[in-house]
Structure 1
């Protein structure tokens, strides 16, 4: 067993590397998650620290995701999102669902067992195609705005708050669809109607418990009368974990519940509100670093088939970027007065990030067929999205005339 000195040194070095990687990423214009993943991969492949326990990786990812989603909700300010509320909600719900249907159908077409070409891996069912699509259906707020900050750009009109609302609120929908599909696939005999009812039940219970927990969190924090601001932050951690546990216990979606609780708590007056918000922002960053280092070190089954999966990853990524995402945006916002140029930019601002890679561990932990290939595909899709859309986001915004210099 390694000594405490060695563990402390290794932890300090990894955290410092991750922090400096984040600074470098902001200068280059690439989301820092790519550097975190690369650091974990280098450690796993050349540092001799390879993680081969899927359950541990999923536990770390789940725990991190709880606080990442809560922090995203807590930081959503009502005055900013109110003017674009319905557009953002349409993108984060119907948009995610349409993306899943389109991309899932495409993935099933090129990878289905009926197809004349499987592109290097075994065929998948339609449900597994939808699962792959659900995992990568959400966009990443941190990835989008780290690129905008590094490019020193502000988006014109209501684009910035709209993208902030969509990218911070579509993660729960992706989690909900992923967990529902895993339950459907795992049940084997369940019908699509049963799967749909399970989805509605998880959504309803998650929202109800999340709203109640958020109001309860506000009341309790305002009446605790603690002697230190730090104790309020610790109390908020306990309440977030309690919210997740309660929603899961009552068969709701715990991730959706903590996000809703974060939105409610963040938009009500709470004692030491700024301190609690800064604490959860820092804690969410720590969770992201730990999560990506872990996932980078993860030894995934069939990882050796990466070269065979490369062509599939390219095809799925391009379809997502140029077909599924744009169609989902234009369909979801067909009723709004948003201009075609703005819709085109929203379509391109679809960077994938932390949540898809965490969700990709769910099929592994549940023993879903082809889970190893799905994990590798999702990792490749995220990397391609960050590289292609991340580098081109600022030029596209300028080309469409929707960018202002800071």
Structure 2
């Protein structure tokens, strides 16, 4: 019976710790604190050295939970990444995720040698442990703090954080093996690196395709689609790790495949993974916090602070500026990407690997990694929003997201039903503008269900339901928030956002905060494009309009029928002005040549 009581108490204690983490998140959101830091502190307070007095030294359990949590986080990150976004920033993101990780570790190592007296191999191990940015920290702080970044900057940061973990993990494990087993020939090291990378990529692509095929073909009972996808993700990760491929790369690519294919219960899977990743993060951070001893952290605190300062102010910025030099990023964008090098679960997780294999000085590596993560979450996590404002990279979110109802429609995968409450001050009610890919079908008014044509004009208090592609449903939120006209354009909708050419300039001005002359407010986009281009419109023609740009998406009979919207670059580099003017001139010449050819 004593054994049963011990198990019951362990379950109770674990549930209370997770509950404490969840409840503390409400306080953290209220004061803007990084949630991951809160979970770490909950574990430290509950630990043997804290008031809780819980004795915990099971590094293997912490490593196992951490592996599962990171796999789910990376799968969820891939699931939310659109291929169109991925392709547009593939080169800079992968450069940061590969060359940037190596450079960050190499630039951190000399400070470790000087401050801690370790040899170069041990110092490189410390640099590798803290070299990668953390997907969980980055995803949460970018979305949870209400930041709306320029699309290319946000995509670069998110994809880098999702793809640099596999390389950092490989580099750490390689250095640990070298410290345990001695020197290995460099051809063997390179072959191992390539094998893990290609193996993880192949298994991730195959696993993602198999998951999509099974999800759409199998007649699973209602409610089992999301657990099936989550389990499939962990299966891909486990298989890759078992054959010594990169499981973290495999699970990220599997999520990328699943997220960009039409699947059943897409939004149910997203919601389920939100909860699963939250619980996994809480469990992982609480366990890692339990492993930490505050007095041991203080013993090497000054050295760890020096490493953290080097990482934040020297290694990461130098790596980012050099890696992004070949790409068209302004200095403000590069400075912000440098500052968003948040460390989190990955750093502490990697720092636990030397403990797991019982390396000499393993506790020192763990303490350094732990303090670096704490400092990064405190300093960078709390200053992320001010840095974005200072560098003019983002606008703060001023409105709460509306409550969105999403319903899958059995029998097809291309559309779902998306519902919103229509308030008195939302953009849809003011101008009745929705993207061309969203079709109103139902209206609920005064307890009655009406067809869209039957309902007539939408009124405040209505509930409207629209057909939209599942991957674009979230973009509709911007039209159903309670808000005044914004002072600047909203970058979240610009990109794949398309409107009909019959929309007026005045309507766009109200939605996007554009200064439109009163005489032009009733001019349609089709008429505006025709008058400004000077030639028949062709898909791809670009026309600036204040802080946004109009892109001809489709035309018929010599008139534009659909117009896409995207941000113009608000911070052009002066030295690139001539190049941009030349680019615009070439575009006009190409459009004129095409018109002459077709004529």
What is the match of residue 40 of structure 1? Answer: 43
Match of 1:159 in 2: 153
Change in 2 beyond 3 A, CA 1:233/1:149: closer
The 2-side partners of 1:228 and 1:281 are apart by 19
Give the Cα–Cα distance (whole angstroms) in 2 for the partners of residues 209 and 287 of structure 1: 23
Query: For each residue in 1:181-211, what CA deviation from the matched residue of structure 2 results, as whole angstroms up to 9, or x when unmatched?
Result: 2223222132344323222221111111111
Equivalent residues of 2:73, 2:136 under 8 A apart: no
Note the alpha carbon deviations across 1:378-404, whole angstroms, 9 max, x for none. 110011111111222222222222231
Equivalent residue, structure 1, for 2:85: 80
1:182 paired with 2:176, answer yes
Q: Say whether residues 1:250 and 2:243 are aligned partners.
A: yes
Partner of 2:278: 285
Question: 2 CA distance for matches of 1:198 and 1:376?
Answer: 29
C-alpha change, 1:242 and 1:391, in structure 2 (3 Å) is closer
- Aligned residue number for residue 201 of structure 1: 195
Which has the higher mean CA deviation after the structures are superposed, 184-193 or 172-181? 184-193
Q: Mean Cα displacement is larger for which, 137-146 or 333-342?
A: 137-146
Matching of residue 95 in structure 1 with residue 119 in structure 2: no
The 2-side partners of 1:331 and 1:23 are apart by: 39
The change in CA–CA distance for 1:28 and 1:198 in structure 2 (over 3 A counts) is: same
Corresponding residue number in structure 2 for 1:126: 120
The Cα offsets for residues 328-369 of structure 1, whole Å up to 9 and x where unpaired, read as 101111100101111111111111111111111111101122
Q: 1:192 to 1:221 in 2, by over 3 A?
A: same
TM-score normalised per structure 2: 0.62
1:105-120 alignment, distance < 5 Å: 105-112=110-117
Matching residue of 1:363: 354
2:162 aligns with one of 163, 168, 171: 168
- Residue pair 1:156, 1:404 contacting (<8 A) in 2 also: no
**Following the alignment from structure 1 to structure 2, what is the Cα–Cα distance between the partners of residues 307 and 19?**
28
> Where does residue 26 of structure 1 map in the other structure?
29
Residues 1:69 and 2:69 aligned together: no
* Counterpart position of 1:237: 230
User: Any gaps of 5 or more consecutive residues in structure 1?
Assistant: 113-123
Aligned CA distance change for structure 1 residues 179 and 397 (closer, same or farther; 3 Å): same
Aligned-pair distance for 1:371?
1.1
Instruction: Tell me which structure has the larger Cα radius of gyration.
Output: 2
Deviation at 1:78, TM superposition (A): 2.0
Could you tell me how far apart the structure 2 residues matched to 1:316 and 1:347 are? 16
- Determine helix, strand or coil for the equivalent of 1:154: strand
Pairwise mapping of residues 338-353 of structure 1 onto structure 2 (< 5 A)? Answer: 338-353=329-344
Whether 1:387 and 2:378 are equivalent positions in the alignment is yes
Asked whether 1:220 is paired with 2:211, we answer: no
- Shift in alpha-carbon separation, 1:377–1:145, aligned structure 2, 3 A: same
Q: Gapped runs of 5+ residues in structure 2? A: 398-599
Q: Which residue of the partner structure matches residue 17 of structure 1? A: 20
Cα distance, 1:7 vs structure 2: 4.7
Higher strand proportion (structure 1 or 2)? 2
The 8 Å contact of residues 68 and 234 in structure 2, kept in 1 or not, is answered as no
Structure-1 residue corresponding to 2:261: 268
C-alpha displacement of 1:145: 4.8
Whole-angstrom CA distance in 2 between matches of 1:7 and 1:80: 45
In 1, the alpha carbon distance for the partners of 2:386 and 2:327 equals 25
Tell me the alpha carbon deviations over residues 193-237 of structure 1, each in whole angstroms, 9 at most, x when there is no partner.
43232222211111111111111111122111112232x223223
Whole-Å separation in 1 of the counterparts to 2:163 and 2:299: 34
8 Å CA contact 1:73, 1:262 repeated in 2: yes
Contact kept, 8 Å, 1:29 with 1:390, in 2: the verdict is no
Alignment coverage as a number of residue pairs:
392
Between the aligned partners of 2:392 and 2:123, the Cα distance in structure 1 is 37
